[in-house]
Structure 1
Amino acid sequence: MTTDESPARRTALVTGASSGIGAATARRLAADGFDVVLAARREDRIAALAAEVGGRAVVCDVTDDASVAAMAREVGDCSVLVANAGGAVGMDAVVDGDVEEWRWMYDVNVLGTLRVIQAMMPALVASGQGHVVVMGSTAGRVTYEGGGGYTAAKHGAKALAETLRLELLGQPVRVSEIAPGMVKTEEFSANRFRGDADAAAKVYDGVAEPLVAEDVADCVSFVVTRPAHVDVDLLVVRPLAQAAQHRVHREG
């Protein structure tokens, strides 16, 4: 810990905790001393990780109102919410985009975040030191060809976080957005390319050191362990090899 704000007995809820950034964040916050609740759809994964870190597992589908409400009841007291559940699918041009894929991306990245925030806000306010961390993306700040559906959704998540911060002024709840660039995880690109492992691997071709999930978890840890009066509004993090969305150094 690098702050005098001790997380002892504070509960942190991490959605999308079954893999990637969510799983790494759950591990990191548990190591920081938080009582971590891991939420995701895949019960076997979150149960195993909860046992590993001494946390609790709660099955939740953030696209389902009833599932989110049940999760909130089970979690109970909570001071930190890491709204991490999200994802991308497809790289089609806008004119060829699948409406259902766009709908899913908006539902999980924006409405899923909205559902969880609404469900957990009473507990966050009651804690007296609440903190909402929205997992955004550099895709929420710049567009690129083939990314229309995902960038639209992440721009929506950005707008949600910024609006929430304005509306909570005077309440004991901080709002932070983490916006990672190129992160290599076991599932994100594979899901985006619908299981095409070769296409997923090409995203990282020649990039010696893309970010990994633990790098982003480190950023989450930093913002939630600042003193209670310090709100890190936005933390943009990229690998050294990525200067911007379209500017990536590839060796060879």
Structure 2
Amino acid sequence: MLQRLRNKTVFITGASAGIGAACAKAYAAAGSNVILTARRQEKLQELKSALEASHPEVQVHTAVLDVTSQEEVNQVVAALPASLQKVDILINNAGLVLGLKPLADYPSGEIDTMINTNVKGLVYCTQAFIPRMKEQGGGHIVNVSSISGHEVYANGSIYCATKHAVDAITRSLRYELADSPIRISAISPGLVDTEFSLVRFGGNKERADSVYKGMVPLSGEDIAEVALFMTSRPPHVEIAESIVFPHGQASATFVHRKSD
């Protein structure tokens, strides 16, 4: 039941848009306090103001955070307000994809950005909270992965590799945390209509929109609902993973599209 989330504290990375922002809205509506982190301060402040207006009973804290910096992650976590020091749920959502290129053509900068954000950033945030969650007697870590963490496709080598890493990290943690009060889950979506494709194609909106042509993609809100369900189960229930497709998608590359 969602009342289990009331007065919980949720730390969300990549909270300025898309799935992260949708999670912030959903958890605040469920009565959770939310800590919003991302690189874009203006977007965070806009979301904070909206949440405080809609849900004045919950605490909303923002922090500019680049998850690729372990020092920055540790500083932000250490500087949390006293009333939000006990974080019950970590949503590792920050992630991105750049380009759609053959491996031989990928620039080193794009490779580094994807690996540093999608893998190292998730690791740094998880490392920051595991000791705290053990000490406080409980917690739940939710890693936002992708169907690309289970499948591969041409020109997606680096992104798929990063999401396969997220899958391996999540499954390894399930062994490591089995004797602790910490639960670990992953959500692996298919096509979600967020800024994801716009970022992938360098701001080319026409090309980004074509990804979702002829079908109804998932929304950030759809994934947020899954996160809420996972984290509102009783303590003995651990949903290991949810693979979520929009209807008509059957794999990373197979999508039934309606003709115009």
Same fold (TM over 0.5): yes
CA contact (8 A) 1:11 1:79 kept: yes
Does residue 88 (structure 1) correspond to residue 93 (structure 2)? The answer is no
CA-CA distance at 1:96 after TM superposition:
1.4
1:210–1:241 CA contact under 8 A, matched in 2 = no
Q: TM-score, normalised by structure 1?
A: 0.95
Please identify runs of 4+ aligned residues in structure 1 that moved more than 6 A. Answer: none
Q: Which amino acid aligns with 2:62?
A: A
CA shift digits 1:214-250 (9 cap, x unpaired): 0001110110001111000001000002011121011
Shift of 1:32: 1.1
Percent sequence identity over aligned pairs: 37
Mapped pair 1:189 → 2:180: no
- Tell me, yes or no, if the aligned pair for 1:80 and 1:124 is still in contact at 8 Å: no
SS at match of 1:198: helix
Counterpart residue identity of residue 226, structure 2: C
Deviation of 1:182 after TM superposition, in Å, equals 0.5
Q: Aligned pair 1:21/2:30, yes or no?
A: no
| Residues in 1 aligned to 2:44 and 2:15: alpha-carbon distance in whole angstroms | 7
Q: Deviations over 1:56-82 (max 9, x none)?
A: 111111011221011111232211000
**Could you say what secondary structure the match of 2:11 adopts?**
strand
2:73 matches 1:68: yes
Q: Is the 8 A contact 2:5 2:27 kept in 1?
A: no
Q: C-alpha deviations, 1:200-224, integer Å up to 9, x for none?
A: 11111111x1101100011101100
> Is 1:135 the counterpart of 2:135 in the alignment?
no
Instruction: Verify the 8 A CA contact 1:21 1:214 in the aligned structure 2.
Output: yes
Unaligned runs of 5+ in 1: none
Find the aligned partners of 1:95 and 1:213 in 2 and give their Cα distance.
33
Q: How far off its partner does 1:51 sit?
A: 2.3
Query: Unaligned regions of 5+ residues in structure 2, if any?
Result: 53-59
2:57 alignment counterpart: none
Alpha-carbon distance in 2 for matches of 1:146, 1:120: 34
Q: Which amino acid aligns with 2:138?
A: Q
Q: Which moved more, 1:96-105 or 1:19-28?
A: 96-105
Q: State the shift of 1:122 in Å.
A: 2.2
Match of 2:35, SS state, is: strand
2:209 pairs with 191, 201, 225, which one? Answer: 201
Equivalences for residues 148-167 of structure 1 within 5 A: 148-167=157-176
Q: Distance in 2 between matches of 1:70 and 1:51?
A: 24
How far, CA to CA, are the matches of 1:119 and 1:47 in structure 2? 24
Matched-pair contact (CA < 8 Å) for 1:18–1:39: yes
TM-score, length of structure 2 as denominator length: 0.92
Which amino acid in structure 1 is aligned with residue 205 of structure 2? A
Q: Distance in 1 between matches of 2:250 and 2:5?
A: 34
Q: Measure, in 2, the Cα distance between the counterparts of 1:51 and 1:125.
A: 32
Matched residue of 1:242: which SS? coil
Match of 1:235 among 235, 238, 242: 242
Higher percent of residues as strand: 1
Q: CA deviation at 1:165?
A: 1.3
The equivalent of 1:246 in structure 2 is: 253
For residues 71 and 93 of structure 2, the distance between their equivalents in structure 1, rounded to whole angstroms, comes to 19
